[in-house]
Amino acid sequence: MQNAPESSLVGVEYEVEVGPVAHGGHCIARTGEGRVLFVRHALPGEKVVVRVTEGNEDSRFLRADAVRVLEASKDRVEAPCPYAGPGKCGGCDWQHAKPGAQRRLKGEVVAEQLQRLAGLTPEEAGWDGTVMPAEGDKVPAGEVPAWRTRVQYAVDADGHAGLRKHRSHDVQPIDRCLIAAPGVSELGIEQRDWSGMESVDAIAASGSQDRQVVLTPRPGARLPLVELNRPVSVLRVAEDGGVHRVHGRPFVRERADDRTYRVGNGGFWQVHPQAADTLVRAVMQGLLPRKGDTALDLYCGAGLFAGALADRVGDKGAVLGIESGKRAVEDARHNLEHFDRVRIEQGKVEQALPRTGITEVDLIVLDPPRAGAGKQTVKHLAGLGARRIAYVACDPAALARDIAYFAEVGYRVRTLRAFDLFPMTHHVECVAILEPAAKGA
């Protein structure tokens, strides 16, 4: 580790009053000299002592942890997890807040991003301002819903499995992750020696009893004999990034919208056990597909929304899915092979969609990565004249930016819904339904 520059403020403490929440799991405060602080482990309205963790005299802002609470918010609770707090695990952001307060904070972040990046109030976005909990997640203050069906454990130099510290490669060894789903916890990953491994991904399918671990060895290391507390399949990540089966199935079976989906090689699937069904319902309720509709499912993964659309557009309809990942495309084609009306293309959306020659569609679903779809893709989609577009977003900033791009090319937000599918963290999932602005005028 390099020595901090002479102007470093790391370790300096300030007594501050905490201001509003900001995107990223922290709140904003200012030092007596007016310097901006991004403060973790605090809540709006509190008076705290913070210790700087990043920044120097020339920084535009400083990052800091609240290390002492002088005046606590009524929304504060003792963090249930012993690994939550300054300098510890970076996986959770809001363990110190009541569940209802966490959802309010997320709602404030979504509202702020909409206003700042898209120029919209919640009312103008057709949103009531609430962030809805997933079914089964309403737990009393001081308790934690065990929802995370996929956990990536980092491995320290002694072979102990743990989780990364905030904005760090350092590993916090743990005995148990409280937000891990029961199917992950029962594997006993934390109790085993993982010497030679860089990371261990644990997957507990919510649609079956399938369990899987994906091992990433350090260069030159040999794979261990994996003996866990439950039967699992084992995959290995090669140095070139490829994923290879060691034993067991190379996929897990998930279930959503009354259909089973194969998800191979540790590929993407929603992490919360209720997320896939929750999002399919929100998307279909917003789009209201009709028999005979043509539809696009962009960034389609294993085909979750393509399958839901295919069911609803009927034999005379057609659905095209586009996905860049080779294994995900194979899975999507397998999962939807009984639908003649579904076609899955491999490629990046911005390259593959123009190649299709499609000039008009009735409906579009897009579920882009965290960075969003981007201006050029939005412009292309608007030119297809869709009756409605469903935008599924895991990042409110990217969503708001893309909503602004849609506004420039004639689409407005009809409704927006927000869901707390990542309790205890700052992440929030949104579903925006867009339509031609002339229709909403």
Query: Residues, the chain, total?
Result: 441
Alpha carbon distance 313, 338 (integer Å):
15
Structure tokens at 405: 């791009």
The 411-420 sheet, strands edge to edge: 131-133, 411-420, 429-436, 388-393, 363-366, 294-298, 318-323, 342-346
Residues in Cβ contact with 248 at an 8 Å cutoff, skipping those fewer than 6 apart: 212, 231, 232, 233, 234
Please state, in angstroms and rounded to a whole number, the distance separating the CA atoms of residues 226 and 111. Answer: 46
- Residue ranges of E strands in 238-369: 243-247, 251-256, 259-264, 294-298, 318-323, 342-346, 363-366
Could you give the CA distance from residue 228 to residue 250 in angstroms, rounded to a whole number? 18
Give me the catalytic one of 89, 92, 394, 430: 394
**Cβ atoms of 356 and 383 closer than 8 Å:** no
- Round to whole Å and give the CA distance between 312 and 435: 19
- Residue 327, CB-side half-sphere exposure with 13 Å CA sphere: 15
The upper half-sphere exposure of residue 396, i.e. CA atoms within 13 Å in the direction of its Cβ, equals: 30
* 3 state DSSP class of 310: helix
H or E, element range at 53: strand 47-54
Residue 417 DSSP class:
E
CA–CA distance, 216 with 198 (Å, rounded to integer): 5
User: Cα separation of 266 and 226, whole Å?
Assistant: 17
Say whether 92 is catalytic: no
Q: What tokens does 350 get? A: 């911005």
Amino acid type, 417: R
User: In DSSP terms, which residues pair with 214 in a beta bridge?
Assistant: 201, 235
- Half-sphere exposure (Cβ direction) of 355: Cα atoms closer than 13 Å: 10
Spatial separation of the C-alpha atoms in residues 63 and 53, rounded to whole Å: 6
Q: Nearest Cα to 365, choosing from 276, 280, 271, 275?
A: 280
Residues with catalytic roles: 394
